Amino acid sequence: MDKKIAVLGTGAIGSSVAADLTKAEYDVTIVDQWAEHVEAMKKNGLHIELPDMELKVPVKACHLYEMASSNPEFDIVFLCVKSYDSRWMAEFIKPYLKSDGVLVGLQNSLNDDSHASILGRERVVGCAIELSAEIFTPGLVQRNTSHAGTWFGLGELDGSVTPRVKELQEILSHVAKVDITQNIYGARWTKLLANSMTMGPYGLLGIQNAEAVKMDGMLEIQMHLGKESMEVGTAIGHSIEPVFGLNADDFAGSDDQVLMTAMKTLMSHVGTRARTAPIQDHIKGRRSEMAFINGLVSSKGREVGIPTPYNDAVTEIALDIDKGKLKMDRANFEILQAKIAESR
């Protein structure tokens, strides 16, 4: 394949994707704003530590500022930045994306319509992702999900199955198990639903997922978070879609059973050593994406008149952590419980 691929934003997720695609001998250029990480990749390549193997891959990396002088043209861009960086990064890459090129957002939340407003709907393909990884040292990634445990759901925004989405499936099959979905918005929302139940409350505590899940009262709160997310998603037209490589039979049953299936499958794939993304952001001194996860449930709930007290409470505490009013700590679980009780 002679198509040129950019991986834009190479934190833990982007680096994992870029390493796999480079190893598969695609023409991949890594573009990132973290200067030390870019320099480390230029010098030593990428080192990815997976649960079952290690990858050390020489890569082609460049700083954001180097794009103007090299003026490349890309057929495919995999956008792997935080949701709050999504719009400006889509604007940034627009001049370097071919007129018939395509951008695929490998991100949490639902950013596809935002990308489409900048690039045009014909140049955007959606993707729901399940890949857990961490990066704190330039050039070195701890990937918590193995290749077998990583899943992507890929789909055209209009639900059609096109030659290009099949081509993207083949490319990304070097990273994950990739399913094509004709309901990409539903798949995206179902993944967000699972994130609201896990990333949301766990991201307030500063501890590993395996510890958080054992806390007394956690499961009850998670189920309420999921129910709110499901109700809001249904109200805005996003039907539940089997994700994480599961099928319709796996997602059969009551709403509670569906929520438990989604949450337990996500946690089983992520593994016990993982720390959820907001914790990683907090350690790095930057804000989390919670406004685009639980916060999105809350804002959409207000639009359709559905109360979301559980997601509201998670979002409020996450914002206080971002502003430095609270530290990430186990004690925040009691604050969360108190806020929920007050709102109800």
Tens digit of pLDDT at every position of the chain (344 positions)? 689 999 999 999 999 999 999 999 999 999 999 999 999 999 999 999 999 999 999 999 999 999 999 999 999 999 999 999 999 999 999 999 999 999 999 999 999 999 999 999 999 999 999 999 999 999 999 999 999 989 999 999 999 999 999 999 999 999 999 999 999 999 999 999 989 998 899 999 988 888 888 899 998 999 899 999 989 999 999 987 766 666 666 655 567 776 777 667 666 666 556 678 888 888 888 889 999 999 999 999 999 999 999 999 999 999 999 999 999 999 999 999 999 988 87
DSSP string, 227-277: HHHHHHHHHTT------TT--TTTT-S-HHHHHHHHHHHHHHHH-TT---H
Q: Say if residue 15 is in the same domain as residue 95.
A: yes
pLDDT of residue 251: 57
CA dihedral 186, 189, 190, 192 (to 10 degrees): 160
Q: Say if residue 35 is in the same domain as residue 161.
A: yes
pLDDT of residue 310: 96
| Residues 292, 85 contacting (CB under 8 angstroms) | no
Phi-psi label, residue 206: left if phi above 0, alpha if psi -120 to 50, beta otherwise = left
Question: Is the torsion defined by CA of 323, 324, 325, 326 positive or negative?
Answer: positive
Q: Which domain holds residue 221?
A: 187-343
Q: Say if residue 68 is in the same domain as residue 213.
A: no
| Residues 231, 306 contacting (CB under 8 angstroms) | yes
| Residues 79, 115 contacting (CB under 8 angstroms) | yes
Q: Say if residue 103 is in the same domain as residue 213.
A: no
pLDDT of residue 280: 85
The one-letter amino acid code at 189 reads: W
Q: Any residues with CB less than 8 A from the CB of 99 and at least 6 apart, and which?
A: none
| Domains contained in the chain, number | 2
Picking from 137, 153, 182, the residue at the C-terminal end of a domain is 182
CATH code for the domain of 277: 1.10.1040.10
